Structure 1
Amino acid sequence: MLSEMKTASFAAPAASMLLTAVVSLAQLSPAAPNAANDLIHPQGTNLGIYVFSARCAGCHDSHRAGIPDRYELNRFTAEDIFKSISEGSMTQYAADLTEIQKRVMAVYVAGRPFASSPAGDATQMPNRCKVSTAAKDSSSTEWNGWGADGTNARYQQKTSISPQNVARLKLKWAFGFPNGNSAYTQPTVVGGRVFVSSDTGYVYAIAAKSGCVFWSFRANAGVRTAIVIGPGKGTGAKEVAYFGDIKGNIYAVDALSGRKLWIMRTDTHPLARITGAPVLYRGTLFVPISSLEESGGGNANYPCCTFRGSLAAYQATTGKLIWKSYTIQDEPHPVRKTSIGTQLWAPAGAGLWSSPTLDLKRNAIYVATGNGYTEPAAHETDAILAFDMRTGKRLWAHQMLANDHYVRDCPGKYRPNVSLTQRSETCPDSLGPDVDFGNSPILRTLPDGRPLIVVGQKDGNAWALDPEKQGELVWNRQLTASFENGGGGMQWGSAADREHAYFPVTRGGGKFGMAAVKLATGEVIWRADPPLGAQAPATVIPGIVFSGSSSGALHAYSAATGQSLWSYDTNRVFDTVNQVEAKGGGMGGASGPVVVGGMLFVTSGSADLFGGPQRGNVLLAFELAE
């Protein structure tokens, strides 16, 4: 999933942090401007993953005794790694690299930016909450996890914000993420507290009303997932916060104190990561697993490719694995060697970038898969899959697009900037368009009782499937120009209320903005086209649809007509409650607005490269003015 969207979606996870952190550090190098441009449009070994594959993978991916692999290297900071390759034991392997290349690789290996500790620790902040009282009991008016509930509809039904008063929304407070480069995580609001994470690896619990900070927890790598809160029975905690990091770890933390309860590594693949938020149901934590393997697959020295996406179920109290099901059923096997001896593998791909969706009536869990990394792409790529919640058994699969085998920096129809002379033997013979799914499936029930799975795809197609008929197609609507003609579509998240689905369109022949369609038929009822930018995930409340753009503008549209009701420019510098220098920026990543009571919360600065690298590091809280 890393084409232009995933150059934009290199905003999804390590890569966004890699790009944003290093570009901000580029001023330390005399060749900074050119280096920064190369990072945005990488060729060869300019990105950390390429540098590592070419210089370090031979040893560190060998699994030889005494040599730490990529996962074990993650215990070191970016500063540690940079020092090692600049003046330490690894100097000989990086002697001809530029300073910027060394910094890129250091950030990639560490999984977090330079100077990410200890400045981010809540104990060092001036806005500590005076009394660490217990959080209020959860209620139906809160927003827990990525989609507000297990259906991933992003529909908040109970709120005091309405079309009549939305124009009275005013900024109440701003919280800056110290040393943050990309604010790409969506907040969770439970019990009067905002739980939010950062690319530096810090997770925070903040008072929703005032912005004072209760605690911080430092993960082993940057955290991109939304946080899900659940009961702590059996853990020694009243409530527990669950989240994943970009090195593939899943965590359980005491939601009251920030104390670590357990941590588990979800996948042994060195490029595995967690980008979609976990989902909790009756003591079981469901975790989607993705990777950035395709971002290194175009390197001639990389043995492409062996990662398969998967969905894992863990016992919430202990972290014990209950089951793990791969998106691609066939295991990777060696297929051939290149002329320089690089072993190639297949099949691979179908990572899970988004949060799973629960269907309690059918005891099923639905996921949307990424593209393939190898040719031919497995039939489970670019698909919606259904698994049994209790056993992990595959129930059905519905593929939306076949032959989408994509590896970065390979020449092809959709990569005209990469010449055939740069082609690596690790590349597919025919490069796919990379139009997989970043959206979570949305489960809705029509007024007549019929269930629907609704989802938006990166190529501009909106789909509705019947979960009672093995995912049979109900309707399909192309909401932009065709991908071949410069079209595009839904990048990270759509929303739906009882009658309509709302699809933020990232690009496509001038059709930016939002498209509202009837759930029952897919008929388009209105479009809203803001002047700039790719859209962040939508959020719907009665009468209003909220969505942010890559220009930094946060919009409120009438759910009935698409008329603009309110907007706010987040692309600026803010005074923060924790006195951290902070600014907003692009809002084109996987973080959408969160509405609770009369307040709206959103992060700004997701470094979505679609609308320019508008990085930021701020969490904003809005409230209805009297």
Structure 2
Amino acid sequence: MTAAVAAAALGVGLSFGRIAPAQAAEEAPPGKAVYEQFCAACHEKPEAGSRAAPVSALRKMSAQTLTTVLTTGVMKPMGDQLDRQQLRAVVAYLAAPEGPTGTGWIDDNRCDTARAKVDLSAKPAQVGFGVDLDNSRRMSAAQAKLSTKDLADLEVAWSFVMPKTTGLRGQGVVVGNTLFYPAGQAGYVVALDTQTGCVKWATPGGVRASLAYGRLGKDGPWAVVGGDAAGNLIAFEAETGKVAWKVDPRHDKTVPLSGTPVFAGDKIVVPISAIDVANSMRETFACCKAHGAVALLNAADGKVLWTWHTMEDAKPLGRKNAKGIEVYGPSGAPIWSSPSVDLKAGVIYTATGENTSPPATDTSDSLVALDMATGKQKWVFQALANDVWNMSCPIGSPTGGRPPGANCFFAAEGSVLRDHDFGGGPLIWRGPNGAKGGRTLILGGQKSGEVWALEAASGKKVWRHQFGKGTALGGVHWGLAADAQRVYAPIADPGVPEPDNAAGLYAIDVASGKLAWSWRAKADCSGDRKARVPSCDSKYGLSAPPLVVDGAVIAGGLDGRVYVFEAASGKLMSTFDTAVPFTGVNKLAGSGGSIDAAGPFAGDGMLFVSSGYGSFGQQPGNALIAYRPKRK
């Protein structure tokens, strides 16, 4: 499953369903008939494990969000089936009542003169999703300006509520006392004061994932860069918010940018996902053509220097699906994670997902090393072969669960049907001696629940651990974190019954490959939590990647809880519940919810949490929360 689908506001999207009776259509809003004809089959009562958002979640989305997803987002092929009148009608029928409009949520919270300046003289606390080019998600106490002791006793300093938003899937970056943040569904990138949350600048540009920070060429301005829902990569000058350039780096204009780009010297590495995994639900869709890629861009102007493809372009397979539609392959192996980069060695490491149509390729469910200078493949390690799957397929046996759909035409032809992507990007682990000769390994986490350690030079397996059996939305979903001794693996496993559920956090001693400690997550629906988080009894694992700060590990849960562990022992030092109402410093009322996709991040003495993720039946929310050490 691609991260584009994970971020899609409509989950699965539109498919043909029942048609409302004529009398009901006359009495009901016109959008109701459109919904029932095109949407209800997937969204009215999603089956267990479905990616489709229930209609109750759709009704919390803004008209802007619904329209964007249906016209430029991952559901555009489905939206293209509607004429303009039908599109407007179904959006009007589903959309939440309009809240605050305009830019009051920004303008009423502008910084005063003393705090408005963006000072870029400080070293950034992180350069992107993975904190550093190694994707370690590790920060020293000096980087974060937080100690282990600080993290054991936190309080909310401020919150910032995003309008027209049901989920926050992006992390920010912190430079000095400025936090750059992607308010994706709200349609802006904002620069906030770290201590107060006031707005230094705000620029239209709906960056849908996390931001990366770096310089636009050797002598260019410092900038934050991210991809929007239409597939554009946008560079915003960090000091002013001015758009420096906007380019479309994709080889296929239908595929999304879901992973976070990475500055690599004067270049930018851009991961490119794929989209047909969801399109395949439509039986008349010609499955499947899109595939993943990595593009290297010139940071100064966004020019594409080379593109590595996970496979060759799809070709007709000489057969048709059950609806008589010609089918194509190979396809898939999307890249929806942030790559890691070894600048000294000149190597880019990336991770891929499943194939979406046959023939299976050796680049799916894989960790891959690329030569940075040429884009040529150095090695591929495939963790699971023949994982051909799309959303018209059941998980696992083609005879178990729901029957294969028309675009799962290959179900009985040997595919393992697992959807066991590498969701998190590879992590470069350099050992206790770092650059002084310590062993360098590549670590990867997979939705199968497996954690892999490979030799960086060859891709040869060193060790492997598996936690639970894995699921399409479980296992290691969005990535790992590591320090000099241990790698920390979060396990999501939403809805997996005992005893197979492995939801929790696991620490592995990297040098030996032995399990150092483990912690199992448990459901908490006490008090009013069941009312605040209806899915609290089934979705409580750890999907977002953790963060190491000093001697602590911070992890966010699908039920909105934040956990702080002692890294050496696994001792739980503190827990915070983010799935509560908030009134933001920008005067909007909102709430937290599930923590997914975007992990905790830190800087300038603050811990930041993006709370709310309304996909997959999880708890919507729209609050960026800033924690500080509790004041005595």
Which of the five TM-score ranges fits, normalised by the shorter chain? Answer: 0.7 to 0.9
1: CA distance, partners of 2:169 / 2:42: 20
Counterpart residue type for residue 443 of structure 2 = V
Matching residue of 1:162: 147
Q: Give 1:336's match in structure 2, choosing from 311, 318, 325.
A: 318
Q: Give 1:602's match in structure 2, choosing from 582, 596, 609.
A: 609
1:289 CA displacement: 0.4
Is it true that 1:12 corresponds to 2:7 in the alignment? yes
1:10 CA displacement: 3.5
- Three-state SS of the structure 1 residue aligned to 2:612 is strand
What per-residue deviation string (whole Å, max 9, x for no partner) do you get for residues 93-123 of structure 1? x5xx99658867xx9xxxxx9969963x478
Counterpart residue type for residue 175 of structure 1 = F
1: CA distance, partners of 2:201 / 2:149: 37
Alignment of 1:108-257 (within 5 A): 119=102, 121=103, 124-131=106-113, 133-140=116-123, 142-157=125-140, 158=142, 159-197=144-182, 198-219=184-205, 222-232=206-216, 238-257=221-240
Q: Give 1:585's match in structure 2, choosing from 577, 593, 600.
A: 593
Structure 1 window deviating more from structure 2 (265-274 vs 132-141): it is 132-141
- Three-state SS of the structure 1 residue aligned to 2:356 is coil
1: CA distance, partners of 2:99 / 2:267: 32
Gaps of 5+ in 2: 15-28, 55-67, 524-539
1:268 CA displacement: 5.2
What per-residue deviation string (whole Å, max 9, x for no partner) do you get for residues 551-581 of structure 1? 1001101111111111110001101100112
Matching residue of 1:619: 624
What per-residue deviation string (whole Å, max 9, x for no partner) do you get for residues 294-348 of structure 1? 11124221111111111011111111111111122x2211112426542211111
Matching residue of 1:38: 44
Structure 1 window deviating more from structure 2 (338-347 vs 530-539): it is 338-347
Scaled by the length of structure 2, the TM-score of the pair is 0.81
Is it true that 1:490 corresponds to 2:472 in the alignment? no
Gaps of 5+ in 1: 20-25, 49-69, 108-112
- Three-state SS of the structure 1 residue aligned to 2:318 is strand
- Three-state SS of the structure 2 residue aligned to 1:165 is helix
1:249 CA displacement: 1.2
What per-residue deviation string (whole Å, max 9, x for no partner) do you get for residues 394-444 of structure 1? 111110000110110224536778633754465544461101111111101
Matching residue of 2:363: 380
Contact 1:388–1:395 (Cα < 8 Å) also in 2? yes
2: CA distance, partners of 1:355 / 1:126: 35
Structure 1 window deviating more from structure 2 (380-389 vs 156-165): it is 156-165
Contact 2:227–2:234 (Cα < 8 Å) also in 1? yes
1: CA distance, partners of 2:561 / 2:627: 14
Relative to structure 1, the CA distance from residue 575 to residue 293 in structure 2 (aligned partners, 3 Å threshold; closer, same or farther) is: same
What per-residue deviation string (whole Å, max 9, x for no partner) do you get for residues 40-66 of structure 1? 449999889xxxxxxxxxxxxxxxxxx
- Three-state SS of the structure 2 residue aligned to 1:164 is helix
Alignment of 1:20-35 (within 5 A): none
Counterpart residue type for residue 152 of structure 2 = A
1:620 CA displacement: 0.6
Scaled by the length of structure 1, the TM-score of the pair is 0.82
Is it true that 1:522 corresponds to 2:479 in the alignment? no
1: CA distance, partners of 2:368 / 2:104: 40
Q: Give 1:472's match in structure 2, choosing from 442, 460, 484.
A: 460
2: CA distance, partners of 1:562 / 1:44: 33
Matching residue of 1:565: 573
Alignment of 1:446-461 (within 5 A): 446-447=431-432, 449-461=438-450
CA RMSD of aligned residues (A): 3.6
Contact 2:491–2:541 (Cα < 8 Å) also in 1? yes
Contact 1:283–1:316 (Cα < 8 Å) also in 2? yes
Contact 1:368–1:385 (Cα < 8 Å) also in 2? yes
Contact 1:252–1:261 (Cα < 8 Å) also in 2? yes
- Three-state SS of the structure 2 residue aligned to 1:273 is coil
- Aligned residues between the structures: 564
Contact 2:106–2:586 (Cα < 8 Å) also in 1? no
Contact 2:335–2:353 (Cα < 8 Å) also in 1? yes
Relative to structure 1, the CA distance from residue 244 to residue 409 in structure 2 (aligned partners, 3 Å threshold; closer, same or farther) is: same
Q: Give 1:287's match in structure 2, choosing from 270, 291, 304.
A: 270
- Three-state SS of the structure 2 residue aligned to 1:294 is helix
Identity of aligned residues (%): 29
